[in-house]
Amino acid sequence: MPDTSVNRPAGARSTVAVLAGGTGAFGLLQSLIVPVLTEVQDRFDTDQSTVTWVLTAYLLSAAVATPLIGRIGDAVGKQRMLVVTLTLLAIGSAMAAVAPSIEWMIVARVVQGLGGGVLPLSFGIVRDEVSPERSGTAVGLLASLVSAAFGIGIVLAGPIVDGLGYPWLFWLPAIATALAAVGAVLFVPRSPVTASGRISVLPALLLSGWLVALLLAVSEGNDRGWTSTTILGLLAAAALLLAGWIASERRAAVPLIDLDLMRERGVWTANVVAFVAGFGTFASLGFLPQLLQTPLSSGYGFGETISQSGWVLLPSSASAFVMGFVAPRLVRRLTARRVISIGAAANALAFGGIALFHDELWHISSLMVLQGIGIGCIVSSMAGVVLASVPAHQTGVASGMNANIRLIGGSIGTAMMGGVITARTGAGGFPLEAGYRDGFLVLSVAAIVAVGLALLIPRVPGRHHGSGTVRTEVMTSAVGA
């Protein structure tokens, strides 16, 4: 087995560089398609209802794959599964670039979503390979890269289409992830820590089932009506499958997800905050481009192009990325719960400010800088809380569930935002300005709730069920003393 010493900075830097390339490409793939859905619709001569599945298919696939791949990585080796997931991202991106039909495109997005395990695998590898004094910064960097890349994807979509052409929205990530897969083979050591036992099939199927049912209901609720038989049936099915999944995990010899572990204070508090953070981040970045691109004739829009609206949001992504380096240092001084609370408060101010003050472009751009600082504090610090709260052999599944819960929160937040904004329309068929105001006020209230939830995060991880001892190898650089 290759040398996996954590005391070789040069090797650790190479490992983190490879992981950064993979997670950055994954973050871009989440958002590059958002500003150009209209072009996708025209390109494949389809309707708006069908083209939304380009987003939904990716969301469903990533939601199911993220915890599963994290658990498989714990069982067979994180480095091995990292190569697999990066390869899937490259293949899915290439498929999307050459897609001859909307059906092919949807399948390609499903394959891309299977690469969602990149994030939990990367966090686990950092814990295995990077020294404790550097691991907090490395985790913060990777976590902030995903948030920054999401915003940067919205910025880059227009220039890429205008300058290189539509297919390069996918060729560029395909090339990046293929290179990262090669780098993972060459520079990332095999994982020294793996979990024993086989993965139980039934819990995996039930987990997939309730996630698919829930996200289908969330994705289709606005179109079909939240009280329709279809949506109510999907929600009921999600509840039943969730109950069945919990029961099967309790009986499994080697559970997919250790539910006792999920009850640890450091884990469940981070997961709840992740849900609320995703709720606000995805909803705001998903609908601000629409606000900016709304024609001047609406009375409140700015009539910006895809590229212009992206530049307005760039400061948010830049500040989130910078906080990936700053937040770990703040955590060492203030503790993780204080930094996360500060981040949630910043988000509350940003969303409330956008709701009430959006008359000028600089209003929105300035407030999104505050939003970027807030989400950078939350995501960069939260990853360390989760990793420090679980045994080494369960880092993949724990961080995978945290990332997945943030994704679920984002999908629900986006659905809520869409429902509020489109509930009332004015002249020309555009949503009323009041819809955007109310939607961002809801996001602000949710962020205020996150402040209170963040204060429940423990200063140090608690006991692990079944171990009988308090964990001693705490990542103090990521959590704070």
Domain boundaries, the chain: 9-199+254-479, 200-253
Q: How far apart are the first and last CA of the chain?
A: 34
Q: From first to last of its 481 residues, what are the pLDDT tens digits of the chain?
A: 444 444 444 467 788 888 888 888 888 887 788 777 767 877 888 875 677 678 777 877 877 777 778 778 877 788 888 999 999 999 999 999 999 999 999 999 989 988 877 877 887 788 777 776 676 677 767 766 776 777 778 778 888 888 888 899 899 989 988 998 999 898 888 866 555 556 677 887 887 788 778 877 876 776 778 889 999 999 999 999 999 988 988 887 767 677 777 778 888 888 899 899 888 887 887 788 878 888 888 888 888 887 787 788 888 878 887 887 788 888 888 888 899 999 999 999 999 999 999 888 889 989 999 999 998 888 878 877 887 777 766 666 677 677 778 877 877 787 778 778 877 777 666 788 888 999 999 999 999 999 999 998 887 443 343 333 333 233 333 333 2
- Give the rounded distance of the alpha carbon of 469 from its chain centre: 33
> Which of helix, strand or coil describes residue 384?
helix
- 159 CA to centre of own chain: 24
Alpha carbon 222 to its chain's center: 22
Buried b (16+ CB within 10 A) or exposed e, 383-394: bbbbbbbbbbeb
What count of other Cβ atoms lies within 10 Å of the Cβ of residue 236?
Answer: 12
CATH architecture of 9-199+254-479: Up-down Bundle (1.20)
Write the CB contacts of 30 (distance below 8 Å, at least 6 apart in sequence).
Answer: 58, 146, 149, 150, 153
Q: What are phi and psi of 431, to 5 degrees?
A: -60, 150
Total count of residues recorded for the chain: 481
In 336-432, which ranges are continuous DSSP H helix? 336-356, 361-388, 395-421
From the list 427, 439, 323, the residue with the least C-alpha distance to 382 is: 323
C-alpha closest to that of 277 among 153, 371, 181? 371
Break the chain down into helix, strand, coil percent, rounded to 5: 80, 0, 20
d(CA 130, CA 386): 16
Q: How many CB atoms lie within 10 A of CB 334?
A: 16
